[in-house]
Structure 1
């Protein structure tokens, strides 16, 4: 994948990135808080990285010249990420948000070298005195769209375009399947792994393959709108990922799982300004509006289906429904959680198995 990085290699380059990001300069406001963002994909992906950049822009709007922001996009996980994160820290940034699971170890390594800089890592589980973690309970939204898929499918085959077989993605597939089969026990989910967060050609190919295999509804945990576009072209339905993708599939998209990072970013930056920041873990969901659903496409969805979706969403918000309520049965037909219990967070965060209803073998 060709990189279009803002401010990668040097302090001077980061300064260029600041201008490109539209941040206020020190000449405008004395000692602004300098905040950096590291994106795994392009800020224009209309998915994961796009939505984090929406959060960055919300910070600028909220704080004005009290903050100075910059971002680097298309950063590969690994050595590339470590170099970018270190450059932010070495260039006087006070707070750095690293927004992909594969940035976890690079973030920890740089944080050890710059103990006065604060870091926040999205979707990770390793923390330090100057490293906090944050994520959203995406699986809650996926349960709700699973309910919709189960009521909309005619073929009982649902296609799922997935990125990497990490617990965050696996738990999303499983929650989607639980919602699906709560209203349609005969429905099955077919998964194709593309081993990338953002690769429109591969995502398109996977979506087309799933349609050829009989899927009449598509879901995804990848960052481009390619699957939505395929659904629109094929006259079937799909769900947006991370952001509202209705513009790419006005007939195809039934709703989208939208990540709301804006409130979190503003809150954490205010805590730094107030001297109240501390390393902690945040995992918000539908109840905290860290995850929400875009408006239902009522041109495609009947009032009865919308009502069923809202019933599930409201129950999750109220705590009367957990996407992983027992009895929970795995792909082999074994009961892994009895009735009357809900799967604890630590089990969701380490999920490496499929629930019943998912076809195929989970890559290891």
Structure 2
């Protein structure tokens, strides 16, 4: 039997050898001493005896027996050699009693290199063993802040210290911290035996289902997909999944793993897809005999229309589509929904109520939107946010920076002092682009103009007093009025000498109704499905429409000179026709850095992810602690500066605790 086993292993070794040679790759085992520079090692640590994953045993420490093994640890020497006889003897031992004597290995960057016991590794790999008993010495590289792989490895060492698990690994910084946080393991703490078993079992359960479906085709660690799976389904749910349930959920979530493998995670749709103009019922009635039914559309609001200008603008959009489609559709609204508290429950309630499409108007509800969408593939769920790399939901947003640029032209023309105020909530995707576009528009007509930004999301920030202190009277404020608030400061205006009197110049408008109308038509016409399949790849789609789609507008008042109006309307038409790019040419930030060179144009992703302010903007980005709860939630999900995983988890827990306490009172 041992002879037959050796001959089979030998064939496997020779196939691996030939495959490597055909690819121009070394056919032998990697040798640690060949590529490791000992001067880069900070120290060695004896980890003692442990069961290590055989999949992570990848090479040898020295060149001694290199030519005896292919790169898959299968033998290369013919039968009749002393090496073959010893291998066959170990094979018999494994069959009769199991190999128990530990091998000796060095661990470097979570890979193991054999010092003693190459043949034992080979035999156990041949029999498909999962782990092997080993005495482990860790070689710790010197910390290098410029080397992302070393930074990730240092995170792994903290994770291993807490869990003693080395089978899970990631390609992205912050992932180990995130997994520990999701599992409820604090940095510096040690997981108990039950928690370790739960994590190991959940990962192995996931790994088996993942590989069975073809996960080995991806060129990133399985841990990356596991972490995304946990984020979507929740750690406790993943731990409690039975193998059959795990397989079903892995299958449902598969496109998310494909997105991890895609270099272009988000596909921006800059204009609506053309749809045939026909009655909505004709989309619902492909056959004359089919019974008519209403299309039911749900809306999720984080606040109420009476208290939030953002929600109010979406509510006007909902009312618009009700007027356009009449009794052909029915809309349902969920107000005052709190992210990560009851958002998932409210979406499920809408689906139970027969909703076909859900528009989620808060970016803070992305994960709930994704989770519900995966569980309910027949329901279309769209989230009003930017740059969300998920296949199962789509995002929609407007290129408001186009209208803000035009508003900036008006402000630059009307601000006698050359000082203009701009009110922004908090630094999230899209907001910085709006500020910079406004500043560019103002600079176009007044090269010496300065734009002073005040963040309304900062706690107890007296915006009006700060503007007054800087001699700012021409101000770009929130886009829409808030019905329940007494103040009517919105749009672009100048606060005059008479108390309480403002001269309004212009306002930028979000036409969410037009957006919703065209998205619904896209779904009903079949364009929704065609957009996902047009190039055969898996992509996350972000509808990012602008002036050309009619989803935003700038309304000018009679207080603006005719020449200024003419200039604004001329440039507006050029933008609509694609002849004028706002972010074209040299762009210089506040520190004097060139962010875009002459002759170049920023692409949509570069625009919405701007993490800098231009040189004629007077402002600094607020820190997280200075923001109110609503702004903190938005920054956590859509902030231009990505929070580290620990801070993000702490913030989420803190906001939940604060809300539940308030609810209890």
| Cα distance in structure 1, aligned partners of 2:401 and 2:490 | 23
- Length-normalised TM-score, structure 1: 0.78
Gaps of 5+ in 1: 1-28, 237-248
Deviation by residue 1:1-34 (Cα, 9 ceiling, x = unmatched): xxxxxxxxxxxxxxxxxxxxxxxxxxxx963221
Contact 2:317 2:511 in 1 (8 A): yes
Note if 1:212 corresponds to 2:472.
no
More helix by percentage: 2
How much has 1:347 moved relative to structure 2?
A: 0.5
1:338 aligns with 2:622: no
Secondary structure of the residue that 1:79 maps to in structure 2?
coil
Cα 1:308–1:76 change in 2 (3 A) is: farther
Q: Is it true that 1:171 corresponds to 2:428 in the alignment? A: no
From 553, 573, 576, the equivalent of 1:317 is 576
Contact 1:40/1:77 (<8 A) preserved = yes
Higher RCO (CA < 8 A, seq sep 6+): 1
TM-score by length of 2: 0.44
| Change beyond 3 A, Cα 1:43–1:230 | closer
Within the alignment, does 1:184 sit opposite 2:446 as a pair? Answer: yes
How many residues align structurally?
Answer: 318
Q: C-alpha separation between the residues in 2 aligned to 1:346 and 1:110? A: 27
Alignment-derived partner of residue 297 in structure 1: 557
Residues 130/223 of structure 1: CA separation in 2 closer, same or farther (3 Å cut): same
Task: Please report how far the alpha carbon of residue 37 of structure 1 lies from its aligned counterpart in structure 2 after TM superposition.
Answer: 0.7
* Residue 288 (structure 1) aligned to one of 549, 554, 560: 549
- In structure 2, the CA distance between the partners of 1:231 and 1:355, relative to structure 1 (3 Å rule), is closer
In structure 2, the gaps of 5 or more residues are: 1-290, 533-540, 623-640, 642-665
Which has the higher mean CA deviation after the structures are superposed, 252-261 or 267-276?
267-276
Please, which moves more after superposition, 173-182 or 211-220?
Answer: 211-220
**Matching residue of 2:510:** 259
Deviation at 1:63, TM superposition (A): 2.3
Q: Does the C-alpha gap of structure 1 residues 128 and 229 become closer, same or farther in structure 2, counting only changes over 3 Å?
A: closer
1:361 paired residue among 605, 620, 625: 620
Which residue matches 1:307?
566
Preserved CA contact (<8 Å) 1:207 1:218: no
Task: Give the 3-state SS of the residue equivalent to 1:68 in structure 2.
Answer: strand
Superposition deviation, residue 355 in structure 1 = 0.9
Q: CA deviation at 1:98?
A: 0.7
Partners of 1:223 and 1:254 lie apart in 2 by 14
1:222 Cα deviation from its structure 2 partner: 6.6
SS of residue paired to 1:287:
helix
Q: Post-superposition shift, 1:308?
A: 2.2
Alpha-carbon distance in structure 2 between the residues aligned to 1:81 and 1:290: 27
The 2-side partners of 1:331 and 1:317 are apart by: 30
Q: Runs of at least 4 residues of structure 1 off by over 6 A?
A: 229-233
